[in-house]
Structure 1
Amino acid sequence: MHAEDNVGSPRAPRSEAALIAARAIEALAQHVAVCDASGRVVLANAAWRGFASTQPDGECFRPIVGEPCRGVRLQSPDGPVWMGEQEISDVIAGRAPEFSLRYPVSTTLGTRWFAMRVTPLGLPEGPGALVVHEDVTECADLEDELTHHALHDRLTALPNRALLLDRLNMAVKRAKRRGTANYALLYLDIDRFNVVNESLGHVSGDMLLMALAHRLLGVTKEMDTLSRFGSDEFALLLEDVESPGAVGEVAERVLERVRQPFSLKRRSVVVTMSIGIVLGSTDYENAGQVLRDAETVMHRVREGGGGRYEIFSEAMRVSAGKRLQLEMDLRKALDAGEIGVHYQPIVSLADGQLRGMEALARWRHPELGMVPPMEFIPVAEETGQIVSLGHFVLRRACTKLAELQRRYPGVEALTMNVNISGAQFARPEFADEVREVIEETGIRPGSLKLELTESVIMADARKAVDSIRALRDLGVHVVIDDFGTGYSSLSYLQRFPVSCLKVDRSFVLTMADTKGNREIVKTIIKMAHSLGLEVVAEGVEQAEQLEILAGLSCESGQGFLFSKPLDDQDLDILLHERLGSV
């Protein structure tokens, strides 16, 4: 029976609108039928009627008019199965608002996906239902494509963070269920990837990532998951791990493959990786915990220079917990008045007179006592707190210097050295901030010396030249700190308007025992003097070191041989003994 034949009857002449509606239903590409209260088909359009003839096995998947609509007939190992028969009855009876089902159908065109939707329909004779089948193969393909994009990295085509974490969660759950864990997670970070981006451009950086992904796939098994996790980070989930040694072998193969040169823009580029490894354990509850530990050990490797792997241990978790607590405590330390400034004298090696002092941040924790700078300064740098901490030390040091200049009129030449972090120095307003501190405290600009490490200056050499000139225009001196550990080049020294070099303590401490280091110090001093720069030696702890430095015409020294860093009270005692008071 056609759709047109079912709309109206000879005893009830159809309206023009009904005729148009009937023709519209008949022309629809969707397979449309109307069922009466008993579930029998009373109307079917051309698409519904014509569908049966396309079936390879000749069986009808659409009941004809007069037959019951039992839903969808699917093949199973036990024979045909009807899906949706009860649900259609529930919709007609008002027990369900609607019903939908997606199912595959084998046709001469291949496997097609259809969606069946059943909705209530009031008929003159009573309740009924509208049943619509629609070919949604293209929509299903699009959904599959969208799902793939949602779970894969577009640059490398590798699984992304979301898919990796999903598979890692499944591995964690399997381990909990079975009572044994045979998975491992490798967290991989490209060492100094930013150098490639900055020197060769982001296109070359992307090419490196794609080439690296291809290499890494060569060390994985079919059941493993290699994921691009971030801009320069990858993660490798190993399944069915036989032993910790097997995981280490995989890590070694990764490092070896990565070390092989890459060809980018006709240049040979060599990179290394930092790898943090977590061996699966039934103690883990979710993927986030595994990832946390993998990141912890990866950062530990990277801080140690990179180019190697390390396996996570419980001791690392304890250390990470302490570091996190230290970070939270540090955020409150400035406001709580726990941060102070100590001052280490800088002495003339010619006559032993006090030339100046270096301001050093010190943290007296209410529970831990004095926290070593090597513990809290890196935390401040990583969390961004170094800017506020550095500004506090600068202001406190200048305030102290102004006080000393008022109390001891004979110390006009006394100088104050203050360390400046890379984050401070990179701020466009840094020179203005220094000028404001000078004006507020009233110190002589020439008595302030700001210390910058070689790495801070060379991070952006062109910008550094402008920033140093801005400081020199204020009358402030700029000192290169820890000289000898970085670029240490005469050509770059000539570019920057600095006034002093500080020889790194690592050379000074072993100078008396190691001839090589003595020659390095001698060369640095000679280089500095050729450029008219003053030299300060750090880490002077022995009289023999002092004698050697004096013989090399080094102007000043700093170290425990002269004095440890002093708090305000001890500094006042020292100055009173040397200079008297007014």
Structure 2
Amino acid sequence: MALLDPEGLVVSANGALAAVLGSDPVSLRDQPAAELLDLGSDARTRRAYREVLRGERSRFRCTRRLKHPDGRSLWAEITVSPMPRSQGVLLSLTDVSDRRRLQARLRHLQMHDPVTRLPNRTLFFERLTSALERSAYEGYDDGGTGRIGLCYLDLDGFKAINDTLGHRVGDRLLAAVASRLNECADSDGYARGGNGHLVARLGGDEFAILVEDSTGTDQLAELAGAVLAAVQRPFDLAGQRLSVSASIGVVERAAAGSTVNGLMQAADTTLYWAKADGKARWTLFDPERNAHRMTRQALSSTLRPAVDRGEFALEYQPLVGLADGAVHGVEALVRWNHPQFGALPPNRFIGIAEEDGSIVQLGRWILRTACRQARAWQRDHPTDRPLFMSVNVAVRQVWDSDLVADVAEILEETGLPPRLLQLELTESDVMGSAGRPLQALQALSDMGVRIAIDDFGTGYSNLAYLSRLPVSGLKLDGSFVRGFQDEEHPNRADEVIVETLVGLAHRLGLTVTAECVETAGQAARLRRIGCDTGQGWLYSRAVAPDRIAALIGAAAS
């Protein structure tokens, strides 16, 4: 302890304080306490200390790191408070070095992974947050690059090792991987004159390497390549020789304007790409690819309610007889009038709908709307040959719903004869169908509904199996027809293939529709071959229902 006068000079001090400062009580007299105990090093502490001396503050406490004359450092908790009925001030000092060391030890345990001894998720995010906050101060310049990089990696095949050899071996492998990651990070950091990079275990078999003041994507790519090579080297652990690989997501960008969540989301997305692209590789974050993913996610999250909101509409493309030029039927093509992305064609959202199961709800709406429209045309043109309606169906509609019951209900509801409905399934969906899909197709065929195979010739065609399917028609993929474009130098191979397929189909009692017919020359050659109907821009693009009504009248006249 020490008694101070209103100016902050030591009036008297006890031996304990003198021992802490490496002096004696007499020598401390008249010495300014602020200089002895570093109470003026920052403005906040200096102001509070002076307020106590002037009697404007009842108490002040702070912690200071002091240097003993013998070179030792100690942490001291200093309390300053006015003396009652006196102008003097009492200063007391407590050595809290042991407590600070314990706190530091506890913090180290709290902030480090016990298996790998690497910084854990908490410390990693603390360091990342600090790095980004530092860059956010306007005018801040510590001579760094102002950029930040991150390698986010996940071990391929670790779960199998953990499950088969046990967690003890799995933990040894994680520790060995951590050691190699540290070597890569230290080599890269110190070689560039830096202070090394932070390597952390974020949980499970996920690790991250934080590169502050990165020099660009080349540095991160070089580091990711070194990590990939290091992890792929075999590990010899307690007589076990183990091999794993890693998938790495790499992000490098300006620190200013970046957020912790944004950086980690980009890293997580890029790691997913690396795994989806085949694993055992690193992948650099691509803003365009991410924008496509975000768009896809936005479409997926709004697809189901979009049906209820009435955002979908159908357009119809004519199927024209090559012999008579009349419209025999139409194919219903769905469009999504998205409030944010505008009019979207089927290839932008049908795959998403099949993945998340919303194709059942959407497909049911398409089928009902198309059948209702076909029946309306039939009523409006009673003297003309009725058009059949062709609707695309995904195989998931068979698995996830009772397609047969749905079709029967819609036909009864709309009054459309079954013979005027054609359901199109892709070749990959139909070929190899067994069990429930095959039973559904057979039931629909027995009902009188036509079944057509779409994009025929692009999948794994099993022609022997084709004869046993309840199919009434084939739609040749447009790639065959495009080979007919050069009339002066026709692709004879494509013509032979189409001619063979048409002949085979006719012998099996099937009709053939050629897709993507764009020129009169293509139509003429398909007619000579014996193809039944054509579909494509030569006749019409997909149009609104009223345009089809006009085509029916034109064909009849």
TM interval, short-chain normalised = 0.5 to 0.7
Hey, what's the Cα distance between the residues in 1 that align with 2:530 and 2:497?
Answer: 14
Indicate which of 518, 532, 535 corresponds to 2:509. 532
RMSD over aligned Cα atoms: 5.4
Hey, what's the Cα distance between the residues in 2 that align with 1:535 and 1:275?
Answer: 49
1:258 CA drift (Å): 12
Q: Is the 8 A contact 1:219 1:254 kept in 2?
A: no
Q: Aligned AA for 1:562?
A: Y
Please, which runs of 5 or more residues in structure 1 have no aligned partner? 1-76, 82-100, 106-112, 114-140, 194-201, 260-271
Task: Please give the residue correspondences for 1:111-260 in structure 2 after superposition, counting only pairs within 5 Å.
Answer: 167=124, 170-171=127-128, 173-177=130-134, 180-185=146-151, 221-222=181-182, 237-240=208-211, 243-248=216-221
Name 1:436's counterpart in structure 2: 409
Hey, what's the Cα distance between the residues in 2 that align with 1:579 and 1:487?
Answer: 40
Residues 255 and 443 of structure 1: CA distance in aligned 2, closer, same or farther (over 3 Å): farther
Q: TM-score w.r.t. structure 1 length?
A: 0.56
Q: Is the 8 A contact 1:220 1:226 kept in 2?
A: no
Q: Is the 8 A contact 2:398 2:436 kept in 1?
A: no
Are 2:539 and 1:562 equivalent residues in the alignment? yes
Q: Is the 8 A contact 2:132 2:256 kept in 1?
A: no
Are 2:424 and 1:477 equivalent residues in the alignment? no
Residues 524 and 303 of structure 1: CA distance in aligned 2, closer, same or farther (over 3 Å): farther
Task: Please give the residue correspondences for 1:65-464 in structure 2 after superposition, counting only pairs within 5 Å.
Answer: 167=124, 170-171=127-128, 173-177=130-134, 180-185=146-151, 221-222=181-182, 237-240=208-211, 243-248=216-221, 277-279=250-252, 281-283=254-256, 287-294=260-267, 311-316=284-289, 318-319=291-292, 322-323=295-296, 326=299, 330-365=303-338, 369-411=342-384, 414-457=387-430, 461-464=434-437
1:181 CA drift (Å): 4.5
1:347 CA drift (Å): 1.1
Name 2:10's counterpart in structure 1: none
Name 2:36's counterpart in structure 1: none
Are 2:460 and 1:487 equivalent residues in the alignment? yes
1:523 CA drift (Å): 4.9
Q: Aligned AA for 1:184?
A: L
Q: Is the 8 A contact 1:187 1:235 kept in 2?
A: yes
1:489 CA drift (Å): 2.9
Q: Aligned AA for 1:221?
A: L
1:167-201 alpha-carbon deviations (Å, 9 max, x no partner): 467445445447744532457899xx9xxxxxxxx
1:561 CA drift (Å): 0.5
Name 2:549's counterpart in structure 1: 572
Residues 364 and 183 of structure 1: CA distance in aligned 2, closer, same or farther (over 3 Å): closer
> How many matched pairs?
417
Q: Aligned AA for 1:373?
A: P
Indicate which of 507, 523, 531 corresponds to 1:546. 523
Residues 258 and 529 of structure 1: CA distance in aligned 2, closer, same or farther (over 3 Å): farther
Hey, what's the Cα distance between the residues in 1 that align with 2:453 and 2:149?
Answer: 49
1:375-432 alpha-carbon deviations (Å, 9 max, x no partner): 3434444554332222111000011112222333355663111011243232142221
Residues 414 and 281 of structure 1: CA distance in aligned 2, closer, same or farther (over 3 Å): same
1:505 CA drift (Å): 2.1
Residues 376 and 226 of structure 1: CA distance in aligned 2, closer, same or farther (over 3 Å): same
The farther-off stretch of 415-424 and 162-171 is 162-171
Task: Please give the residue correspondences for 1:511-526 in structure 2 after superposition, counting only pairs within 5 Å.
Answer: 511-513=484-486, 517-526=494-503
1:345-372 alpha-carbon deviations (Å, 9 max, x no partner): 1111222222211011123346765333
Q: Is the 8 A contact 1:217 1:226 kept in 2?
A: no
Q: Aligned AA for 1:566?
A: V
Residues 292 and 537 of structure 1: CA distance in aligned 2, closer, same or farther (over 3 Å): farther
Q: TM-score w.r.t. structure 2 length?
A: 0.58
Residues 242 and 443 of structure 1: CA distance in aligned 2, closer, same or farther (over 3 Å): same
Taking every aligned residue pair, what percent have the same amino acid on both sides? 33
1:566 CA drift (Å): 1.9
Are 2:463 and 1:497 equivalent residues in the alignment? no
Q: Is the 8 A contact 1:276 1:312 kept in 2?
A: yes
Q: Aligned AA for 2:208?
A: L
1:203-230 alpha-carbon deviations (Å, 9 max, x no partner): 99x88xx9xx98996996236568898x
